[in-house]
A and B are shown apart, each in its own frame.
Chain A
Amino acid sequence: MLEIKNLHARLNDGREILKGIDLHVEAGEVHAIMGPNGSGKSTLASVLAGRGGYEITQGSVTYEGRDLLAMEADERAREGVFLAFQYPVEIPGVNNMYFLRAALNAARRHRGEPELDAGQFLRAVRAKLKLLEISEDLMQRAVNVGFSGGEKKRNEIFQMAMLEPRLAILDETDSGLDIDALRLVARGVNGLRAPDRAIVMITHYQRLLDYVEPDRVHVLQGGRIVESGDKSLAAELERRGYGAVGDAA
């Protein structure tokens, strides 16, 4: 599903952040990418989603056999790539429901499916809201405006549940969540595990991985993946810290 080869990326100011990432993710798998602050985790998520401000200097990203980096951000999303933002953006004046319906219908048009009418849309929304225990009032407000930190993160997972992506990238979705919110988010993510879907979770802590069990765990440090393993690696990292990893590399 996703094949990253020798990916190098730098900021527009010239600082190189990613220094040769290699990653292979199959459909149906859940991968966790862990690493200390400044290791390049969020840059990797941004580059995959197509955020501006980065320059790819080497390497390739292939998604479902296509060159992901050649697509615009909105095309990637319509093709099934979803980024759950570390810092969801507040958009005053734009109603949540309106925004979500525009997003859903953009993807449906792209796939040649008819757009959802207001009734169909509302039914779909209600089912998923329940799963994440989000109140319907929140949906009538402007996008993320006046949401608590936990509500913003749950809203990201709710959007993911609505859009049903094939590749979901979760950028520090667990940060700033209390234990109840973390459980809800984990429930949402687990609900999306499917044989035709891959999930990449980027996180600093092992906490989320207690609830969403990864198939593979990678350690990102200094812009490279320095170690990979199964879920036991996460627990080991928690014990020994990032300092001891990758010294051999």
Chain B
Amino acid sequence: MSAVVNFPVKPEARPYIEAFTAPSDEPDWLARSRRHGLDRFAKLGFPSRRSEDWRYLDLRALEEHPLFPVEPPEKPEQPGVTIVDINDFILVLVDGRWVPHLSWLRDLPEGVWFGSLRTAMTERPDLARAALAGADDGSSFDALNAAFASDGFILDIAPDVELFAPIEIVHLSLAGGAAHTRNLISIGARSRVIVAENFFGTGRYWRNDVAAWRIGEGAALTRVAVIEEDAEATHLDRVSATLGDASRLDGFVLMLGGGTVRHEASVTLAGADAQCRINGAFIVAGGEEANIVTAIDHATTGGTTSELIKGVAAGRAHGAFQGKIIVREGAQRTDARQTSRNLILGRRAVIDTKPELEILADDVKCAHGASVGELDEAALFYLRARGIPLEEARRILVEGFLAEPIENIAHVAVRQHLLRRLSLKLGRLEDWS
């Protein structure tokens, strides 16, 4: 069934509207949700670069050469890029669909539900509805995701459960189309978990993910993501997180590759004394674009935020960090720190960094700092004076620069996984100017 709408459709949305086919075996609420998403996307079209949130990204390729959902290959192979922890639970999504034979979800501890969105439709419809209803900011790509969502993962943890081994999710893109996944992480009171997500793929494809995280009272979520997409790929993902009283979010994103990559995190410190740490590192080379957008909303008292984002751009690449911190009226005793440090290699690379603080309470501590510079000549000479060739000296300095925020990750296997991915990436990088 092709969709017909009775209002003006943005021209760039038209091919997507025409490609839409409503799945036949789904409940009414889901069909309505898809329909609603499609209508909204038809009205909104692609975001304009005049909009402040999207000004640093060029999405013309997707407007001119649209990408649609595809079936994953028959028997995809083990990606071989996981953290490989002996007690791991792992869920693999290929082209936006769960692949059971690559996943390991058996013997989950009591109080933990971890599985695909489609599985949840039958086993836990409450969670599936929460995943599909959540994260609705009215943006173009949320709407498109609502219409096309193929699958995703859900991690739901009851109160008072502590998981020591990381929960892993691998997102692979192999078939060259578009994948729209919806993901939900919901942590019960006082529970603790580490979630590690890896994004990889080959060819020209588009990933458009939407996730919601809910962290209950006194609970802690550590979540790290490694994004290593193909140089021709577009990766857009948006997370909206809600933090309860005295809860803690420790987020890390390592962006190592992808033609156009945008990671957006909107965090609301809804409960008192919540702690939010968002760290990240990115490197862009060739003609790549990477964009980290964070919006941290201190809605009530005693919240702390700490952000450290480090970026490196080489070649003709373009990196950008937009970090907004809002301290609402009444959110007293807020302590928020934001730091953005960037390195430019060569004359054609560009990095934009844009901190934005909106403070409406009076008893707060807020600090931010941003810098964009070149490799430290003195450090470079020091390494060369010890016999290290120029290229290797540059690589060591860039690696050290980007490794700094990674060193703060407490879980050893996760930290080493990230350091290894970074090191491998820099070993492959040819373009240092």
Asked if residues B385 and A50 are in contact (CB atoms below 8 Å), the reply is yes
Cβ < 8 Å to B, chain A residues 84-105? 85, 88-89, 91-95, 98-100, 102-103
Binding site secondary structure of chain B: helix
Binary B-proximity of A147-167 (CB < 8 A = 1, otherwise 0) = 000000000000100010000
Asked if residues B386 and A72 are in contact (CB atoms below 8 Å), the reply is no
Contact partner of B397 (CB less than 8 A), chosen from A74, A78, A94, is A94
Asked if residues B401 and A74 are in contact (CB atoms below 8 Å), the reply is no
* Shortest CB distance A130–B (Å): 21
Can you list 12 A-B contacts (CB < 8 A)? A50-B384, A73-B385, A74-B383, A74-B390, A77-B384, A85-B382, A91-B383, A93-B399, A94-B400, A102-B388, A106-B387, A106-B388
Among B384, B392, B403: residue with most chain A CB under 10 A: B384
Binary A-proximity of B251-283 (CB < 8 A = 1, otherwise 0) = 000000000000000000000000000000000
A52-B381, A74-B383, A110-B387 given; name 16 further pairs at CB < 8 Å. A50-B384, A50-B385, A72-B384, A73-B384, A74-B385, A77-B385, A83-B385, A89-B376, A91-B379, A93-B402, A95-B400, A103-B383, A103-B388, A106-B388, A106-B389, A106-B392
Does B363 count as interface, using CB distance less than 8 angstroms?
no
Does A142 count as interface, using CB distance less than 8 angstroms?
yes
Cβ < 8 Å to A, chain B residues 370-412? 376-379, 381-390, 392-393, 396-397, 399-404, 407
* Shortest CB distance B34–A (Å): 47
Write out the residue numbers on chain B whose beta carbons fall within 8 Å of the beta carbon of A82.
Answer: 385
Per the bound structure, the CA–CA distance linking A73 and B388 in Å amounts to 9
Asked if residues A72 and B396 are in contact (CB atoms below 8 Å), the reply is no
Cβ < 8 Å to B, chain A residues 184-243? none
Given A83-B385, A103-B388, A106-B387, CB of A92 within 8 Å of CB of B404: yes
Does A125 count as interface, using CB distance less than 8 angstroms?
no
Per the bound structure, the CA–CA distance linking A107 and B381 in Å amounts to 16
Write out the residue numbers on chain B whose beta carbons fall within 8 Å of the beta carbon of A106.
Answer: 386-389, 392
* Interface residues in chain B, defined as those with a beta carbon under 8 Å from any beta carbon in chain A: 376-379, 381-390, 392-393, 396-397, 399-404, 407
Does A49 count as interface, using CB distance less than 8 angstroms?
yes
Does A51 count as interface, using CB distance less than 8 angstroms?
yes
Contact partner of B387 (CB less than 8 A), chosen from A98, A103, A143, is A103
* Shortest CB distance B426–A (Å): 13
Per the bound structure, the CA–CA distance linking A110 and B95 in Å amounts to 47
Per the bound structure, the CA–CA distance linking A36 and B427 in Å amounts to 46
Per the bound structure, the CA–CA distance linking A77 and B382 in Å amounts to 11
Closest chain A residue, CB of each to CB of B398: A93
Given A72-B390, A77-B387, CB of A92 within 8 Å of CB of B400: yes
Asked if residues B386 and A142 are in contact (CB atoms below 8 Å), the reply is no
Asked if residues B387 and A93 are in contact (CB atoms below 8 Å), the reply is no
Asked if residues B388 and A49 are in contact (CB atoms below 8 Å), the reply is no
Per the bound structure, the CA–CA distance linking A221 and B239 in Å amounts to 66
Per the bound structure, the CA–CA distance linking A51 and B383 in Å amounts to 11
Closest chain B residue, CB of each to CB of A88: B382
* Shortest CB distance B44–A (Å): 42
Per the bound structure, the CA–CA distance linking A99 and B381 in Å amounts to 13
Asked if residues A74 and B378 are in contact (CB atoms below 8 Å), the reply is no
Write out the residue numbers on chain A whose beta carbons fall within 8 Å of the beta carbon of B401.
Answer: 92-93
Per the bound structure, the CA–CA distance linking A103 and B385 in Å amounts to 9
Asked if residues B397 and A103 are in contact (CB atoms below 8 Å), the reply is no
Write out the residue numbers on chain A whose beta carbons fall within 8 Å of the beta carbon of B386.
Answer: 77, 99-100, 103, 106, 159, 163
Write out the residue numbers on chain B whose beta carbons fall within 8 Å of the beta carbon of A143.
Answer: 382
Asked if residues B400 and A73 are in contact (CB atoms below 8 Å), the reply is no
Write out the residue numbers on chain B whose beta carbons fall within 8 Å of the beta carbon of A103.
Answer: 383, 386-388
Per the bound structure, the CA–CA distance linking A52 and B380 in Å amounts to 11
Per the bound structure, the CA–CA distance linking A50 and B393 in Å amounts to 15
Write out the residue numbers on chain A whose beta carbons fall within 8 Å of the beta carbon of B399.
Answer: 93-94
Closest chain A residue, CB of each to CB of B381: A51
Per the bound structure, the CA–CA distance linking A74 and B381 in Å amounts to 8
Per the bound structure, the CA–CA distance linking A102 and B387 in Å amounts to 9
Asked if residues A163 and B387 are in contact (CB atoms below 8 Å), the reply is yes
Write out the residue numbers on chain B whose beta carbons fall within 8 Å of the beta carbon of A72.
Answer: 384, 390
Write out the residue numbers on chain A whose beta carbons fall within 8 Å of the beta carbon of B378.
Answer: 89
Per the bound structure, the CA–CA distance linking A82 and B382 in Å amounts to 11
Asked if residues B388 and A93 are in contact (CB atoms below 8 Å), the reply is no
Write out the residue numbers on chain B whose beta carbons fall within 8 Å of the beta carbon of A74.
Answer: 383-385, 387-390, 393
Per the bound structure, the CA–CA distance linking A159 and B385 in Å amounts to 11
Asked if residues B382 and A93 are in contact (CB atoms below 8 Å), the reply is no
Per the bound structure, the CA–CA distance linking A49 and B377 in Å amounts to 15
